Structure formats: C-alpha cells, structure tokens
Structure 1
Amino acid sequence: MQPFELLVGWRYTRAKRRNHFISFISLASMLGIALGITALITVMSVMNGFEKEVRARILGVASHVQIAGGDRGLEGWSDIAAETKKNPEVVGAAPYVMGQGLLTTGQSVRGVVVRGIDPALEGEVADIGGKMMAGSLAALKPGEFGIVLGVGLSRSLRALVGDKVTVIAPQGQVTPAGLIPRLKQFTVVGIFRVDHHEFDNGLAMIHLADAQVLYRLEDRVSGVRLKLKDLYKAPEVTRGLARSIKVEAYLTDWTQQNANYFRAIQIEKRMMFIILTLIIAVAAFNLVSTLVMVVTDKHPDIAILRTLGASPGEIMRIFVVQGTLIGVVGTFLGVAGGIALALNVDTVVPAIERLFHFQILSSEVYYITELPSDLHWQDVWSVAVVSLLLAFAATLYPSWRASRVNPAEALRYE
C-alpha cells in the first residue's frame, strides 16, 4: 500500500489545475532543470574531449616518464633502460640527446630545441613516426647529418626535404680570437606535423650519434624516455623507479612536464561546472515559486486534510513529494538529453555549421577543427545528484508554509 503523502503528492503533480499559470510555471521549472543539465553534461564532455585530444597530441611527441642526467649527461643508458623494463608498467624505452640551437637558411634564423633520437627505438615511446608529412624518421642515418623539422619550423625557414640548413650549437670553441660557436650543415630528410604549436614550430630531430657529436657528449646521452601501459600511473611508476635506479638522475613524468596545460583545463572545467550549475539553480528557484503558488491554491484542500487528522509533517511531505517529482522528471529528461547530445556532438555540430554556413573552429585559426567529446559517467552522476539536491532543497520552504496553514482560517470563506 502506498504511503498517504506519496499518493496525494503524486495526484497533485499529475492533476490538471484550475490555474493554468501554475501549470505553465511547473512546466517551465521542469524544462529549465532539463535544459541546464543537458548543457552541463554536454559542456563537461566537450571539455573532457579537448583534454583528451591535447594529451594525445602532447604524448605523441613527449614521453610518459623521462630520466634525465646532469650537465655531463647520462652514462650507460642501455643498462638503465634494461633496469626500467623490469617494472611491468614500462613497455618501451629510448635514449635521447636534448640541446638548444639556432637553425639558419639564407636570411631566416630560428631558435629550436634539437632532439637526438635513435629512429629504431623512438617508435617505442612516441608516435611521431606516424605524423610525418614528408620523408621518414628512418632516413636519419648516423654520420649523414640528416634532420627532421616540424611543419611550422619548415615553413618559417622555407626548407623542404632535400634542402640544407645550418645548425648553430651554443657550446662554442675557444680560440685566440675568442669564443666561436660551432656550425654544422644538415640535410632535411623529413617534415612532421603533430598539430601542437610548441612541437611543430620549435622542434628539430637528428640522429642520436650526430647529436652526441654536435654537443660533444661522446657516448653519453641526455637521458632515457619511457612509455607506460597506463599513462595515469606515471607518478606512481616514477616514484618506484626513483627508488630502484642506482644512478644520479632526475625523474619526471608527463603530468609534471605539462602541468600548466592540464591545470588550466581542470580550472576551466570546474568553473564551467559552477557557472552552468547556476542554470539548474535558477530552475530550482522557479520551482520554489511554483510550489508557493500551489500551496496558496490548495489552502482549502490542506485545511480539509488537517481536519481529517493529517499532521503538519504529513502535509509538508505531500508538497516535498510533489516538488521532488518535478525535479526527478526534469533531471531524467536533462540526463537523457545531455547523454544523447554528448555522444552525437560530431554529428550535431557539422549539421549546425551547414545550416548556418559558418565553422565553429576554423582551420585557419585552430589546430583542432572538430569539437571532441568524451562522456564520463562520473560527471553524469555528479550533475544528476546536484540537480536532485537543488530540487529537494527548493521544496522545503513551500512545504513548511503548507504545514503552517490554519484550517479555520483557510475554510472561513469557503
């Protein structure tokens, strides 16, 4: 048998009211909650999608974990790589040499980060081999002094595959005339594009052996880069490797190397959650107005129920049920709409662009030209719970007003 309060509250919710304005306000409150939830779930999913896309592009060139030596480099990198692979989370290891330099062609000069790599091992830690627009990483041969440029760097230097560029290393040679920088001519053997400004416009790669010669490291390297099975375990794996590796080295993971990017995205995501939650809060305030008007409209009914023996608490629970039902229906509609829209952003957005003849993310301005979406069920549950709590809170004051109705006063003019 249904509880008395639930039965009456359900009847009040679905009954046609004499005052159509109250019905309209109830519908507006319900749709307001649904619209706010739909917008919040969609925006959170798009923010998740952007985070995932940026992370994938960064980690396509960077590494999950990096073991770096001091100013003199790291000796015995192969032994260090073998030691790291004893950790079950490590699936790949590759050495690297990192240095700064200037690239010149004719009148063009650009400052770059020069990374020396082993083409045979680089595929274990990064996906840059699959991002080549021209040439390949395999064209980097020891002693041939080939170089691979980012697409932005290639355009600014006007250098194509087969062209010559001069690399100026900051470590100079001391002569009687003073310090003279070292220069070496390289041949462009590849151009890559990862759609990330920092790498496309400021990274040049050469063979590991050529980098050791250019920066006078002999058989040493700058460090070892690692790839993990689960990139989210990078901080934990880094702490474990710091205890197991016996050489002096600096260990960092991708969350430290790119902290500003992901911290900014998390802050934006939290702020969007707070701002869009205000839409739901406005709808909840409408629910307060609706229930206050319903209580006023139902004064005679409340008086009769009190006369028949209903307690103030039972009267209060009737209107709590009614308001909560409106909130539940609005939340259900909003969650359904938000999930549907978040899962179909890649279809809905192009349709809107075709309909209104404009592009939301222009390829002339943005590297990412499509709105990515990554639905997290934790976000859905969080939004639904916040909505239900706001709807429940909105019922308390009107319900308390209903419980305070005096039967004699309410029935005096009936």
Structure 2
Amino acid sequence: MILNRYERTIAKRYLLPGKGEGFIFLVAAISLGAVALGVAALIIVMSVMNGFRAELFDKIVGLNGHAIVQGYEGRLSDWQRIATQARQVPGVTSALPLVEQPLMASANGRVEGVLVRGMRRQDLLANPTLMNNVKSGDLRLLQPGSGKIALGTRLAEQLGAYPGSEISLISPEGRATPVGTVPRIVSYTVAATFEVGVYDYDNAYVIMPIEDAQNLLMLGDQVGMVEVMVTNPDKIQPQIGALQQIVGDKGRVVDWRNLNAALFEALEVERVAMFVVLSLIILVAVFNILSSLIMLVRAKTRDIAILRTMGASRRSMMKVFVTVGTTIGTLGILLGIVIGAVFLFFRQSVVNVIQLVTGQNLWDPSVRFLSELPSKTDPFEVGAIIVLALLLSFLSTLYPAWKAASTDPVQVLRYE
C-alpha cells in the first residue's frame, strides 16, 4: 500500500496520542503488547515442540538406527549375509550388527534392570551419540575380552558405580543343573559413563563389545539384530520392502516410526493443537486493534469531515486507517519476535529460575524424556506466524477504515 505525503503525515499523526486521547493510545498500546505476546508464544511453543522432535529423533535414532532387522527369538544367525546385502540397497548408508538383551545388574548391594547392548568396537567409536556424550572415563577402553563396560549416568547413580567400579550382570540363560538352570553371573569393570540426554537410555543402557555380549548371552556367532541407517528416514518405505525380501522368514524389519510411533504421533498432534490454540491469542489481540481503531475514528470524526471537504478521497481515508492498524500489528510482531528470540536463548535459565522461585521440579527427565528444554526454530514456521499475524491485523482494520471513509462531512459539520 503506497501512501502519498499528506496521507503519511495524517497516519503518523493518528499513531501518536493527541490531547484527550490518552485512553485510545493506551488501548492501542495494549493491542500492540497482545500481538507481541501472541507471536512470541507461538514462536516459543513451536520452536520447543520442534526441538523435542529433533532431539528425540537424533538421540533415539543415534542408538536404534532408522530401521532394525530383528531375528526371531532374539537371534539372527545369518547376519553377515543380511548386513552385506542390506548395504547394497539404494538409500542404505550402513548396516551394523548388534546384541541387545534386558538383564539385571548388581553393585554395592543394589540391583537394577538394565538393557545390555553389544557393539563392535569400530561401530562404537564411530557413534557420535555415545562418543560425544561421555561424562567420565573413556569408551576407547572397551575392547573385546577386556571385561570393561560403559553405563548410562543415571544407571551408574542408581548402582553407586563409577569408572573403576565392579558390577555384576545376571543372565537367566545359565548352565543346566539337576535342580534347574542356574543364572549366569559375570563381573565387569566400569570403564566409562555417558549421558545421551534421553532419560530411559541413561537409566538403563549398558554398553559392551559385541564379542563379550555374545559370550555373556551364549549366542556363539549370532547377533540379535542388524541396525540400518538410510539417507532419508522420512521416506524409508522402499528400503523397508527391500530389506524384508533380504531377511525372508528369518526375521522382521521394523522402522523408526513403528519403534516410537506413539511418541512421535503424540508430539505431532500436540504441535498442531498448540498452534491452533495459541493462534487465538493473536486473534484476541487484533480485536483490540479493531476496538482502538473504532474509538480513534469516533474521536477523529470532525477531522475526517474537514479533510473530506478539503478534497481527501474515501480511498485516502481508508488507506490512512488501514496503515495505522497495520502499523500497530507490525510493531507488535517485531516485538514478539524479539521476545521469542530472547526467551529461547535463555530458555533453560528461565526454567531454572522458575524452579528456584517455586521450589517445584518443572523439568523432571523421567517424565520429559530429555535432560534439558530443547529448541529448534523453523524459519518457515516463523514466516507463517508472521504472515498470519499480519493478515489478521490487516483484516481488523477494514471495518474501522470503511467507517472513516463513509463519514458524511455535511452531516458532521452541519452545526459547526
């Protein structure tokens, strides 16, 4: 919308409070603040929701892969052939053997349920999710036959273990005796602790060389699964079909969606619902813009009539009031972007301060899955929020602008 010089002058004059117009200016300021809070709330919530999905996806997939080939009864004997042929499938970047089994761990008189994972040494050292999150010790000490393992930090806390501690892993697959099967108990030394940031993993995982896991579980040369990574996890179906043909009747293929379907679907539904609900804040804010413009038009009726008698057109009056309302909305949007950016930058500090003031644990990792409040801002979503706020601000100006343009100078100035 292009304004000429006198239209810009009038619009600027109406944006500033005149004599006896303090209340109108207050309503306009409240409208600006409401738009800012609405935009900030949308940006913050959508960024946090995106951060949740991205962090969970990166960390869950970092340990579980985009798809896994599972052997029936937890055993996959022909895994070398499956892994080799899987790597030849277009779109597949890696296929790694794993052993994974729930067991019991004992240390310092404490017993906890654990999830033992056996990995080849080269795969372990190439896994950034583990290598970049070591809290104590050294994962490079995990060598076949060394009797060394790594624990999640929270599991280590539960067992009272630390690098150098001895813990025992208890497997129900033991040796047969005349009185029944005796559980297999093997002692290991803790070489390192890690914290990937997902509570369930940090509270359960025990990492060891795959050869040691095979010996502990008496698997021989068999593994439990083959972890598969692909180039595009959102379009993994072609690879799933090809992998299932390779596996045949020796196992099944499960992708990351099936492994974590409930969690990611819940996040997506909540993300859409929060966007719709918080958009109502902006809608309420633009109603404030509407009311402030209506009051401004009523206060400026005489001025409008005089301008009309001096040659101002109806179109000019509409442009002036549309500009005033849209300017209020635009300033609110800009302020909202600043508020949202500042909050997201200091998000964890804000959570910590609120916890300190209220004395409540607002971020329990056992409930929230992640150790810290995540954030990932999508520029396209921010753009959509800005367009939505601008559109609603513009629409809220049309009725007051039309009323101003419809002012009849004869009726207004009849008794002047």
TM value normalised by structure 1: 0.80
* Structure 1 segment 177-196 matched on structure 2, within 5 A: 177=179, 179-194=180-195, 195-196=197-198
SS in 2 for 1:319: helix
Aligned to 2:34: 32
User: In structure 1, what residue type is equivalent to 2:242?
Assistant: R
Q: Is the 8 A contact 1:353 1:360 kept in 2?
A: no
Q: Is the 8 A contact 2:117 2:207 kept in 1?
A: yes
Assess, with a 3 A threshold, how the Cα gap between structure 1 residues 161 and 100 changes in structure 2: closer, same or farther: same
User: In structure 2, what residue type is equivalent to 1:156?
Assistant: Q
Assess, with a 3 A threshold, how the Cα gap between structure 1 residues 7 and 47 changes in structure 2: closer, same or farther: farther
* Structure 1 segment 14-413 matched on structure 2, within 5 A: 14-15=13-14, 16=16, 17-18=18-19, 19-71=21-73, 73-87=75-89, 89-105=91-107, 107-125=109-127, 127-143=129-145, 145-171=147-173, 176-177=178-179, 179-194=180-195, 195-228=197-230, 230=231, 233-243=232-242, 245-248=245-248, 249-303=251-305, 316=318, 318-339=320-341, 341=342, 344-345=345-346, 349=349, 372-413=374-415
Shift of the alpha carbon at 1:94? 1.9
Q: Deviations over 1:263-288 (max 9, x none)?
A: 44444444443444343233212111
Q: Is the 8 A contact 1:9 1:319 kept in 2?
A: no
User: In structure 2, what residue type is equivalent to 1:64?
Assistant: H
In structure 1, distance between residues paired with 2:36 and 2:74? 61
Q: Is the 8 A contact 2:294 2:400 kept in 1?
A: yes
In structure 2, distance between residues paired with 1:142 and 1:54? 30
Q: Deviations over 1:228-282 (max 9, x none)?
A: 4x5xx21423532432552234333334433444444444444443444343233
SS in 1 for 2:236: helix
SS in 2 for 1:221: coil
Q: Deviations over 1:371-405 (max 9, x none)?
A: 55433211221111111122122123323433554
In structure 2, distance between residues paired with 1:397 and 1:187? 76
User: In structure 2, what residue type is equivalent to 1:250?
Assistant: R
In structure 2, distance between residues paired with 1:364 and 1:227? 31
SS in 1 for 2:63: coil
User: In structure 2, what residue type is equivalent to 1:246?
Assistant: I
SS in 2 for 1:218: coil
User: In structure 1, what residue type is equivalent to 2:279?
Assistant: T
In structure 2, distance between residues paired with 1:123 and 1:87? 25
Shift of the alpha carbon at 1:29? 2.1
Shift of the alpha carbon at 1:173? 5.5
Shift of the alpha carbon at 1:96? 0.7
Shift of the alpha carbon at 1:3? 6.1
Q: Is the 8 A contact 1:149 1:188 kept in 2?
A: no
User: In structure 2, what residue type is equivalent to 1:110?
Assistant: E
Assess, with a 3 A threshold, how the Cα gap between structure 1 residues 406 and 11 changes in structure 2: closer, same or farther: closer
Percent identity over the alignment is 33
Q: Is the 8 A contact 1:343 1:375 kept in 2?
A: no
Shift of the alpha carbon at 1:302? 4.2
User: In structure 2, what residue type is equivalent to 1:188?
Assistant: T
Q: Is the 8 A contact 2:142 2:209 kept in 1?
A: yes
SS in 2 for 1:155: helix
SS in 1 for 2:64: coil
In structure 2, distance between residues paired with 1:10 and 1:332? 23
Q: Is the 8 A contact 2:168 2:185 kept in 1?
A: yes
SS in 2 for 1:71: helix
In structure 1, distance between residues paired with 2:287 and 2:338? 22
SS in 2 for 1:247: helix
Assess, with a 3 A threshold, how the Cα gap between structure 1 residues 366 and 217 changes in structure 2: closer, same or farther: closer
- When structure 1 is superposed on structure 2, of 322-331 and 389-398 the one drifting more is 322-331
- When structure 1 is superposed on structure 2, of 133-142 and 201-210 the one drifting more is 133-142
**CA RMSD across the alignment:** 4.0
User: In structure 2, what residue type is equivalent to 1:193?
Assistant: F
In structure 2, distance between residues paired with 1:118 and 1:168? 22
Assess, with a 3 A threshold, how the Cα gap between structure 1 residues 222 and 338 changes in structure 2: closer, same or farther: same
Assess, with a 3 A threshold, how the Cα gap between structure 1 residues 378 and 332 changes in structure 2: closer, same or farther: same
In structure 2, distance between residues paired with 1:51 and 1:218? 38
Number of residue equivalences: 406
Q: Is the 8 A contact 1:124 1:227 kept in 2?
A: no
